[in-house]
Structure 1
Amino acid sequence: MESMKARGLEQLLLLSGDRLPGHHPDQAPVRYLESVPALQIAREHCPDWLLGAALNPFKYREEEGGAQYLKGQKKLLAGADFFTLQLGFDTAKHIEAQTWMRAQVRMKPMLACVMRLSDKRAAVLQTVPGIVITESMRELLGREQQVSQAYASARSLERLALQIVGLQLMGYAGVHVCGVHTLDELLSLEQAIAEQRESMSSLTDWIERWHASWQMLGAPEVCFVPAIGAWEMGQSNVAATPRERLRYALLSTVHGQFFSRTGWLSRTLGWSMRRPIWKVGVAADALHAVERTVKRPLVGCDTCGSCRLQETLYVCPETCPKGLANGPCGGTQLNRCEFADRECVHSVKYRIAKSANQLPVLAQTLIPCIEAGNRHRSSWPEWFEPKDSTPGR
């Protein structure tokens, strides 16, 4: 940010959370600077800047879709001035994201990410977490390519121009264009957009033409939705499992008894934890070992040094391969983690919050990042320290 200031730059799109090349969850954890704290940091240091963040509405399970929008609310609270969507082609999800934004207290403009999609690009995108390219889309693109390269190129340009016009009709403030690399391509796109606008009278007309642009004689009907996914915003039929509810009830009860800072048991523990002996040396190491021994089997604790369990419905963010505490990344697929070896912990958290009537916690509690040097120590002494009463903290 200091380098940007020196160059007179005042617009920043904050994107984080992409999986690092070669990172596997069975290796040493990698902890990311989350987008929500990053927005807070940028807003604090540069209050007049234009700050943007990402939103991925292309989710087809209630837990992952709901968690995306709840994290979007956090990003708004943290200072986002606009959103850029993930690349996507599902019209229903583009409309859904606009519906969500219109329901917010303060609406912010949104940009949609679009691409001139070819068969070759679609093959690559199928391996990119968070982007939905269905087999029926691939089938159509492949058949167009078989006709001729020129035919496939003309069709892809037509669809890109058509999608941009439709997104404007939906209310999007602009588009983030991918896959257009030369001036000639850009000029051709602008001309195609102008032609589409002149012949378009309504969003209803556009939807018909959009679906027609994905049809070809002899090709199967194109569907933009994964075969096993159909959730739309407003549908709500999931709940925490009996085991998840029991676990939440037990851990919240234990927390209330020992860490509420109100009852006699908690105040006694707090007095003990505030003794200087626990902050350095052998005693600090011993306390760290005790906390890790107690909490790791229960919640997967990695002793981050600043426990956030109360704010994450007792689903430890350290069990996320990226250590994300404020909500999911955009790379989930049908509730599965981008690493594919587990269910996304934020989907679990969503179910518990919904069953416990705690969903506002996932939208309004901004969890700060943890400095690397403060990790691997007990969080208990800090927990009982007097809290900073400065407004906004």
Structure 2
Amino acid sequence: MSVLKQALNEGRFVCVLEAVPQPSASHLAALGKIVRRGHLAGWPLLPAFSDRVGPRSDRSPLAGAEALGDPASSLLHFSGKDRERADLLRQMASMKERGLSQLLLLSGDRLPGHHPGQAPVRYLESVPALQLARAYCPDWLLGAALNPFKYREEEGGAQYLKAQKKLLAGADFLTLQLGCDAAKHMEAQTWMRAQACAKPMLACVMLLTEKRAVALQDVPGIVITESMRGLLVREQQVSSAYAWARSLERLALQIVGLQLMGYAGVHVCGVHTPDELLSLEQEIGKQRESAVSLTAWIERWQASWQMPDAPRVCFTPGTGAWKMGQSSVAATRRERLRYTLLSKVHGRFFSRTGWLSNAFGWSVTRPLWKDGVAANALHAVERAIKRPLLGCDTCGRCRLQDTLYVCPETCPKGLANGPCGGTRLNRCEFGDRECVHSVKYRIAKSADQLPMLARTLIPGIEADDRHRSSWPGWFSSEDSTPERRIEL
């Protein structure tokens, strides 16, 4: 049994050290020393290798692990951006050969250079990826992500609904997005404890400097407020040594606080050398002695973000931020009307019951439409009808019934099960639209369909299925019964 799996099973706090696989001998040597050490402040310490977060010159997670001799404790990431089912299976096969069996499945952030309006880039979404990985390797340790740092009801509620799907799909643990808002960390723990089958959670933390804060302000899904950055700038103005000591203190203090909150461990970023690790270990020892309760810790955490004559630091982007339990949004009149009309049309033509649906189904399942010019013509007809109404990109296996008639193809990543972690105040990571899953959340809430968003696991679309009509498959006896949608 791996170090991480054993620690999670036994309820022991664990530290995962994230590394971006880089083709650098010095980077590799430093990481090797850290991995061989194997512990931090008495907690198990193991490496994690990120996927597609840096320049294209960065190595794959497999290459990063291989460079260290494939330590069995390695947690490899898999980013679904611009990936298909076959890519995941290839990585898992390679991992099997090397004795690696721990995988963190992520949809991934925006692919560099991808802009809406260009040829769409599709992502292997984490929910179907989890299902696939669990079926392929039932005994592996599988993780997924949760971003609780959301400050509007739609995006926050949709995040937690999708997290429920990830648990149903087979996630053994969740790793939180990087964040400093302790209230949101506690909110996520409250949510998890309320689940029927609660799983351990890790929280992502970083040695946050002023330079890193500037870079992170452009990273989708990470909240670095101006007041946070302002304090880091003031500290740097005192001296680099002072700023470093304060950042180290906050990292150690945050790790201690997360353990007090009940987190199973931390996912540490920004620690790159053995000396930095030793300094962090010493600081953790100091903070353990002073923060012996969560109440005492909260006071120390707030104090660590203060300086004389500096404005008060706020971790939320603006006022009136949403908190779990608050419920005030509803679908607009137009959204409700659109949902009602489309559901009625669906019931008439696609229910597979009633004379009209049966007649339509019979007509589109004739052998005539299977190949060649006729198949292309049927595809063109479906696209001409649905694209102006829904933004349809004729994915070949229509999922509109499961997404409350908000087409997942209108998401720049093509996500059907829920949002990615990159939204900000309901805005899409790409910045050109409201997140379609926020719209879907409002409609579901007004139509009493929120439970469906938490339990309907929508399979991904195979590349070969795209750009053909979905109508024959919807009505055919061979395609209407298999796992087109999985409801648990």
TM range (shorter): over 0.9
Counterpart CA distance in 2 for 1:251 and 1:158 is 55
Contiguous gaps of at least 5 residues in structure 1: none
Deviations 1:97-154 (A, max 9, x none): 0001001111100000001111110000001000000000111100100000111111
Taking every aligned residue pair, what percent have the same amino acid on both sides?
81
Q: Which of 95, 98, 117 in structure 2 is aligned with 1:4?
A: 95
Q: Which of 461, 468, 481 in structure 2 is aligned with 1:388?
A: 481
RMSD over aligned Cα atoms = 1.2
One-letter identity of the residue aligned with 1:289 = A
Task: Provide the residue aligned with 2:369 in structure 1.
Answer: 278
* 2:256 paired with 1:165: yes
Task: Provide the residue aligned with 1:295 in structure 2.
Answer: 386
Counterpart CA distance in 1 for 2:291 and 2:154 is 37
Counterpart CA distance in 2 for 1:97 and 1:200 is 21
Counterpart CA distance in 2 for 1:362 and 1:302 is 22
Counterpart CA distance in 2 for 1:122 and 1:185 is 19
> 3-state DSSP class of the match of 2:342?
helix
Counterpart CA distance in 2 for 1:93 and 1:216 is 23
Deviations 1:147-200 (A, max 9, x none): 001111111111100000000000000001111111111111111111111222
* 2:383 paired with 1:262: no
> 3-state DSSP class of the match of 2:307?
coil
Could you tell me how far 1:201 is from its partner in structure 2? 2.3
Q: 1:389 to 1:118 in 2, by over 3 A?
A: closer
Counterpart CA distance in 1 for 2:108 and 2:122 is 9
Given that residues 459 and 483 in structure 2 are in contact (C-alpha distance below 8 angstroms), is that contact kept between their aligned partners in structure 1?
A: no
* 2:102 paired with 1:34: no
Task: Provide the residue aligned with 2:446 in structure 1.
Answer: 355
Counterpart CA distance in 2 for 1:27 and 1:149 is 44
* 2:309 paired with 1:218: yes
> 3-state DSSP class of the match of 1:208?
helix
Deviations 1:30-75 (A, max 9, x none): 1110001110110000000000000000000000000000000000
Given that residues 229 and 334 in structure 1 are in contact (C-alpha distance below 8 angstroms), is that contact kept between their aligned partners in structure 2?
A: no
Given that residues 369 and 378 in structure 2 are in contact (C-alpha distance below 8 angstroms), is that contact kept between their aligned partners in structure 1?
A: yes
Given that residues 36 and 74 in structure 1 are in contact (C-alpha distance below 8 angstroms), is that contact kept between their aligned partners in structure 2?
A: yes
Counterpart CA distance in 2 for 1:302 and 1:64 is 24
> 3-state DSSP class of the match of 1:253?
helix
TM-score (norm 2): 0.79
Q: Which of 166, 176, 190 in structure 2 is aligned with 1:99?
A: 190
Contiguous gaps of at least 5 residues in structure 2: 1-91
TM-score (norm 1): 0.98
One-letter identity of the residue aligned with 2:277 = L
Task: Provide the residue aligned with 2:160 in structure 1.
Answer: 69
Given that residues 458 and 485 in structure 2 are in contact (C-alpha distance below 8 angstroms), is that contact kept between their aligned partners in structure 1?
A: no
What is the aligned residue count? Answer: 393
Task: Provide the residue aligned with 1:86 in structure 2.
Answer: 177
Counterpart CA distance in 1 for 2:482 and 2:432 is 41
Counterpart CA distance in 2 for 1:44 and 1:391 is 16
Q: Which of 128, 134, 141 in structure 2 is aligned with 1:43?
A: 134
Given that residues 458 and 484 in structure 2 are in contact (C-alpha distance below 8 angstroms), is that contact kept between their aligned partners in structure 1?
A: no
Given that residues 303 and 376 in structure 1 are in contact (C-alpha distance below 8 angstroms), is that contact kept between their aligned partners in structure 2?
A: yes
Counterpart CA distance in 2 for 1:319 and 1:41 is 24
Q: Which of 283, 289, 303 in structure 2 is aligned with 1:198?
A: 289
